[in-house]
Amino acid sequence: RSFVPKYKDSWILITGGKDLKHVCRDLGFNKVLTVEDFCQHHPIVYPISQFEPIKQKFFNNEKIEAMFIVYDPLVWERSLQIITDILLTQNGVPHTRISSDQFKSSFQTVPLYVTNSDFLYTAEYDFPRYGQGAFFVCLAALFK
């Protein structure tokens, strides 16, 4: 909730489980884009995606102001790819790229927030389960 005043009317990209878009909207975010939405708008960014390109576009390559890992992503590799791509854009504008000098220094242009940094959690299964913290460690390793 503390981020709502700052990003209320800005495009934010979220990743996590199903039906998180309405949760973010209920919190007060007006422009919410999921990783899956992004893939529908830009099918070439994740070519093995099962999404049909959408005919009516609601996101017109505007700047993505922030990204949130709201819950464990359902398809890690897709979320890792799209978030990394956005981190390497010029100020969050899709299909732009930071300079090679910025790339060499792992320059980040879009803020990324993690709602739960737990690496492991326990569940009914006998072995620990990986959580958002594990996803974030993978993302950080790829970004370097």
Report how far residue 122's alpha carbon sits from residue 114's, in angstroms, rounded to the nearest whole number. 19
Report how far residue 5's alpha carbon sits from residue 44's, in angstroms, rounded to the nearest whole number. 33
| Residue 56 pLDDT | 63
| Residue 98 pLDDT | 77
CB neighbourhood size of 36 (10 A): 21
| Residue 79 pLDDT | 94
| Residue 102 pLDDT | 62
Q: Which parts of the chain sit beneath pLDDT 70? A: 49, 51-59, 99-107
| Residue 33 pLDDT | 92
Q: To 5 degrees, how large is the angle CA 127–CA 144–CA 83?
A: 75
Per the listing, tokens 């990394």 go with: 84
Report how far residue 11's alpha carbon sits from residue 5's, in angstroms, rounded to the nearest whole number. 13
